[in-house]
Amino acid sequence: MTTRKELVAALQVRYRSSGFGERIKILDEFVALTGYHRKHAIRLLRAKPSAPEATREHNRLYDEAARQALTVLWEAADRICGKRLKVLTRMLADAMERHGHLDLDPVIKARLFQVSAATIDRMLANARSHIDGQRKRRKGVTSSIRRSIPVRTFADWRDPPPGFFEIDIVEHCGRRA
């Protein structure tokens, strides 16, 4: 692809400056080399030479300071997802400032309250990737709960063999027994 672009750039100057007969020869060679359709080749060679593509500058609303503040809030909220963190951001930032754990500039604070959940996830993607390659979750809590609660599978329900059932009769007429 790069060589075709270089070839187009080199031939555009020759194509424009040459006469009708010479243009046909240049066009025939170009179509044979690239495999382009003839009309497409004509449009390419007639086009104005393009300027080298400059890197697109982004108008970023959220700078590094906002990302760091968001990371602190995310860590304090036990690394919850962006949708849940969006709801907690205002309350969590106020509480952390009140207790002296966070000191935010009013401009950054206002931007943090405006950020969307999807943008929160994008801003925290780098922080998430540095956590041992996966998200950290609290371990041990669920396994101890699982050990303390007996769980019976379908095969374990053989106390009364199938065919028997129990029923409780309750009278709903309003009289007390």
* Count of CB atoms situated within 10 Å of the CB of 166: 5
pLDDT higher for 78 or 54? 78
Is the pTM higher than 0.85? no
What distances in angstroms separate CA 5 from CA 8, 34, 49, 52, one per listed residue? Answer: 5, 10, 10, 11
Residue pair 41/68 in contact by the 8 Å Cβ criterion: no
- Please report the pLDDT score of residue 60 as a whole number: 74
67: pLDDT strictly greater than 60: yes
Q: Same domain for 108 and 73?
A: yes
Number of folded domains in the chain? Answer: 2
Report the chain's C-alpha Rg in angstroms.
Answer: 35
Please identify which residue in the block is written with the tokens 């106390």.
159
pLDDT higher for 99 or 54? 99
Mean pLDDT, residues 42-49 taken together: 85
Is residue 149 a part of any domain in this protein?
no
Is residue 95 a part of any domain in this protein?
yes
Q: Same domain for 68 and 38?
A: no
Per-residue model confidence as pLDDT tens digits over 149-170: 776 666 666 666 666 667 777 7
Q: Residue 119 sits in which domain range?
A: 64-129
Per-residue model confidence as pLDDT tens digits over 104-131: 899 999 999 999 999 999 999 888 887 7
Please identify which residue in the block is written with the tokens 């080749």.
41
